[in-house]
């Protein structure tokens, strides 16, 4: 009886999607509360109440409180990555390192949780700053978006200087990036940068210090994009599997 089989599969599918939707709702609640009260002070009871489920339900999804928040941070990282990738894809010159960084900064700065994760905000993340470093912390994403492989690709296509070593270049763009991410907190009011100024200035700094002057043929740009897309898709697949596991338990 194939119809029976189909119905079963459909039912199971519906159920899986309801389950998934509920997990998302719980994570939404957790995201909301962690931004308001910080990790330390957001309790499972609060999350359950805000998500409209019973406390026990949360433990049907994650074994411990920490697991829940780990999943939340992983989801945030993934979503931010998707945003960044999308902005890069919509930018004809998105493949330049300067623009990769610009889009990265824009997205991270406009997502409070991603920002907290990136700058290791203890006020928000509490003890999680420790756990969420290498593993979750947008770092694997950064490696993907502008890792060593990417730099090599850009260099081979004349989109990055070759009179500096790759190692130094990585250190430089990290320093400059973090600089623009965090200066404002050290600057007096009259020198505060708006988000627009920050991202544009960041892009210009990266461009001037790491990219050569020569123009790049649209043809080449296309090639780079193609290669990069493969790279990203590969990584994305791995990360998505990880995400599923993390959220569903």
CA–CA separation, 170 and 174 (whole Å):
6
- DSSP H helices in the chain: 2-41, 44-51, 55-61, 65-89, 97-109, 112-118, 122-125, 128-131, 139-146, 148-156, 166-182, 195-210, 218-248
Structure tokens at 24: 């998302």
Tell me the closest approach of the beta carbon of residue 205 to its own copies, in angstroms.
Answer: 5
Does residue 17 bind DNA (CB under 7 A)? Answer: no
Q: Which of 32, 57, 164, 201 binds DNA (CB under 7 A)?
A: 57
Biggest CA pair distance of the chain: 74
236 burial type by CB count under 10 A (0-12 exposed, 13-18 middle, 19+ buried) = middle
Query: Least distance in Å: CB of 10 to its own copies?
Result: 46
Residue 64 binds what, of its own copies, DNA, none (CB under 5 to 8 Å, by partner type)?
DNA
Site for its own copies in 177-216 (CB under 8 A): 177-180, 182-183, 186-188, 191, 193, 197-198, 201-202, 204-205, 208-209
Q: Which of residues 66-85 bind DNA (CB under 7 A)?
A: 66
Quick one: 91 or 211, whose CB is closer to its own copies? 211
Q: Is 53 in the site for DNA (CB under 7 A)?
A: yes
Tell me if 242 contacts DNA by CB under 7 A: no
Q: From residue 163, give the alpha-carbon distance in Å to each of 97, 169, 203, 214, 220.
A: 16, 10, 20, 14, 21
Stretch that binds DNA, among 47-55, 93-101, 156-164, 193-201 (CB under 7 A): 47-55
With CB under 7 A as the contact rule, the residue among 1, 56, 165, 188 that binds DNA is 56
C-alpha span between 157 and 191 (Å, rounded): 37
Residue 68, classified by CB atoms within 10 Å of its CB into exposed (0-12), middle (13-18) or buried (19+), is buried
Residues 134-163 binding its own copies (CB under 8 A) are 134, 139
Q: Judged by CB under 7 A, which of 7, 8, 14, 15 binds DNA?
A: 15
Query: Is 7 near DNA (CB under 7 A)?
Result: no
Q: Which is nearer to DNA, 64 or 234 (CB)?
A: 64
82: its two tokens: 């998707």
Query: Using an 8 Å Cβ cutoff, are 105 and 87 in contact?
Result: no
Number of other residues whose CB lies within 10 A of the CB of residue 226:
10
Torsion over CA: 30, 36, 42, 45 (sign)? negative
Q: Using CB under 8 A, list all residues that contact its own copies.
A: 119-120, 134, 139, 164, 167-168, 170-172, 174-180, 182-183, 186-188, 191, 193, 197-198, 201-202, 204-205, 208-209
Q: Using CB under 7 A, list all residues that contact DNA.
A: 15, 18-19, 22, 40-41, 43-45, 53-57, 59-60, 63-66
């Amino acid at each position: 009886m194939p119809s029976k089989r189909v119905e079963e599969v459909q039912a199971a599918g519906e159920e899986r999607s309801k389950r998934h939707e509920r997990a998302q709702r719980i994570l939404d609640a957790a995201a909301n509360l962690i931004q308001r009260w910080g990790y330390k002070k957001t309790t499972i009871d609060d999350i359950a109440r805000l998500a409209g489920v019973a406390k026990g339900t949360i433990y049907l999804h994650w074994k411990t409180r920490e697991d829940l928040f780990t999943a939340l941070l992983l989801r945030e990282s993934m979503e931010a990555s998707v945003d960044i990738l999308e902005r890069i894809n919509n930018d004809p010159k998105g493949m330049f390192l300067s623009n990769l960084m610009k889009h990265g900064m824009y997205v991270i700065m406009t997502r409070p949780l991603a920002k907290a994760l990136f700058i290791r905000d203890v006020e928000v993340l509490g003890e999680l700053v420790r756990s969420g470093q290498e593993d979750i912390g947008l770092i694997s994403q950064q490696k993907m978006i502008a890792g060593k492989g990417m730099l090599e690709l850009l260099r081979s296509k004349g989109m990055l200087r070759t009179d500096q070593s790759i190692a130094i270049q990585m250190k430089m763009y990290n320093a400059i990036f973090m600089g623009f991410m965090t200066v404002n907190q050290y600057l007096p009011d009259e020198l505060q940068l708006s988000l627009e100024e920050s991202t544009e200035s960041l892009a210009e700094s990266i461009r001037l210090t790491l990219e050569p002057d020569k123009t790049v043929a649209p043809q080449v740009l296309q090639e780079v994009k193609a290669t990069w897309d493969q790279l990203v898709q590969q990584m994305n697949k791995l990360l998505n599997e990880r995400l599923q596991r993390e959220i569903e338990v």
